[in-house]
Amino acid sequence: MRIATKLFFLLFSITCVFAQPPKPQSAPKTIYIHAGHIFDATSESLRDNVVIVVEGDRIKSVAPASTAIPAGSTVIDLSHATVLPGLIDCHTHLAFRADRYDPINYFKETPFTHGFTAVRNAHSTLLAGFTTVRDVGSPPFAAVDLRNAINEGSISGPRIVASGPGISITGGHGDINGFSPETHVGLFPEHRGYQIADGVDQVRETIRAQIKYGVDVVKILATGGVLSQGDSPGAPQYTFEELKTAADEAHAAGRKIAAHAHGAEGIRRAILAGIDSIEHASLANEEDMQLAKQHGTYFVMDIYNDDYILGKAIEFGLPQENVNKEKMVGRLQRENFEKAFKAGVKMAFGTDAGVYPHGDNAKQFKYMVQFGMSPAQAIRAATFNAADLIGRSKDVGTIEAGKYADLIAVSADPLQDVRSLENVGFVMKGGTIYKDKITNGPVATIE
């Protein structure tokens, strides 16, 4: 390039930089929400007649409704509703769909179909009142990209705490089993949301690579599963040493780690290894519950799933092997939910959304109440406790000054009827309203 041309380009780019108008520094918008009742999740009780002041994307204050609201302010009238913190689901798979139960589908999906599915599911999850989710495996690293796109504001969805593919042993819950050794399907397990790692060295390397790709949390599969082929939910699938390596490696990088575990021995190993949450925990025994209590390990028990798996999933081609496994595990899991809660194990709300359709997450509350919790305790499992498990208590989980303005509202009293959460009428995330069937005011549109 000639000097003159170079100079031209240099000057041109400098002009471009200076030609950008400075971003207007307008004051953050203030919204006053008049709540008839609020369940702020800092305790188990309701308060009446409160004004929540939202400034920009955060809550500025929470005060009695007698507080003076300056003339001309934007006020949202939820005086006939109950306002709660945005709900949190700690176990979702946003790229999974609940009408794909024939294993042949493994070979039909592409990263694009998973991506499209994830975008749609993120939207329906948000509109159902779940303003934060932990995604514990969406193929291949869809949850990480989805999190970034939502944070950039290019699509609408909940805040996402993203894992990479779930880490599985060869032949385990995350592998593709039952084909002849001559069969090369050309399909990598991560395409289905899993990675295979055997032995402490591979486990360590896999976790380091996942952290390099930007995961917030690690997911490891410590026992067999219900919806996989050729393994048993009760059987442990990693040694204690492998699980300990995984927990240490995740923690060293400042990440939490969740373990899929149905069977008692796998749960025991995972707790002793220092894993932060046991997912499913279906066959937990007394010893597991005591250990979880001592170690402060959360149980995240997906006790709605059984209805859907033994209903619709069969219609969508679920193999008999999986139906049989669900029959072994599902009902016991509900009984063990009650035992674990009564034993004092910390419980956080998680549903395994993707096994059933995204957006139906709140259907689990009914079972949490049927199996031992009060509605207030069930809601706190999906707000205060869930925020603690995912390490985001500073930002979400309660309605308090300084937290994100992630607020939902329902018309009925959720402490009388927890199922009212299945019909969330108002959803605000970070000060932006995405749904308002209560006042029918304007909502943010998705580009």
Q: Which residues of this protein are in contact with ligand ARG, per CB under 6 A? A: 225-228, 233, 280, 282, 302, 305-306, 309, 326, 329-330, 333, 352, 355
Pick 109 or 436: Cβ nearer ligand ARG: 109
Among 323, 415, 422, CA closest to 369: 415
Q: What is the DSSP string of 146-177?
A: HHHHHHHTSS---EEEEB-SEEE-TTSTTS--
Q: Taking the complex as a whole, how short is the minimal distance between the CB of residue 257 and ligand ARG, in angstroms? A: 17
Pick 178 or 199: Cβ nearer ligand ARG: 178
Pick 125 or 420: Cβ nearer ligand ARG: 125
Place of tokens 């029959």: 327
Pick 82 or 223: Cβ nearer ligand ARG: 223
CA distances from 162 to 206, 218, 396, 405 (A): 16, 8, 16, 21
Q: Taking the complex as a whole, how short is the minimal distance between the CB of residue 352 and ligand ARG, in angstroms? A: 5
Contact 202, 297 (CB under 8 A): no
Q: Taking the complex as a whole, how short is the minimal distance between the CB of residue 414 and ligand ARG, in angstroms? A: 24
Q: Taking the complex as a whole, how short is the minimal distance between the CB of residue 143 and ligand ARG, in angstroms? A: 16
Q: Taking the complex as a whole, how short is the minimal distance between the CB of residue 282 and ligand ARG, in angstroms? A: 6
Q: Taking the complex as a whole, how short is the minimal distance between the CB of residue 225 and ligand ARG, in angstroms? A: 3
Q: Taking the complex as a whole, how short is the minimal distance between the CB of residue 262 and ligand ARG, in angstroms? A: 6
Among 389, 426, 351, 447, CA closest to 126: 426
Among 409, 295, 403, CA closest to 53: 403
Strands 30-38 and 407-410 turn out to be unpaired
Alpha-carbon gap, residue 336 to 224, rounded angstroms: 18
- For residue 152 the two structure tokens come to 């950039």
Pick 250 or 329: Cβ nearer ligand ARG: 329
Phi first, then psi: give them for residue 349, nearest 5 degrees. -70, 130
Q: Taking the complex as a whole, how short is the minimal distance between the CB of residue 23 and ligand ARG, in angstroms? A: 45
Residue with smallest beta-carbon separation from ligand ARG: 225
Pick 355 or 378: Cβ nearer ligand ARG: 355
Beta strands in 224-323 (DSSP E): 256-261, 277-280, 298-300
Find how far residue 420's CA is from the centre of its chain: 21
CA distances from 119 to 21, 148, 401 (A): 33, 12, 31
Pick 39 or 298: Cβ nearer ligand ARG: 298
Pick 262 or 435: Cβ nearer ligand ARG: 262
Alpha-carbon gap, residue 368 to 372, rounded angstroms: 6
Q: Taking the complex as a whole, how short is the minimal distance between the CB of residue 77 and ligand ARG, in angstroms? A: 40
Q: What is the DSSP string of 183-242?
A: ------GGGGTEEE--HHHHHHHHHHHHHHTT-SEEEEE-B--SSSSS--TTSB-S-HHH
- For residue 357 the two structure tokens come to 């359709």
Pick 276 or 306: Cβ nearer ligand ARG: 306
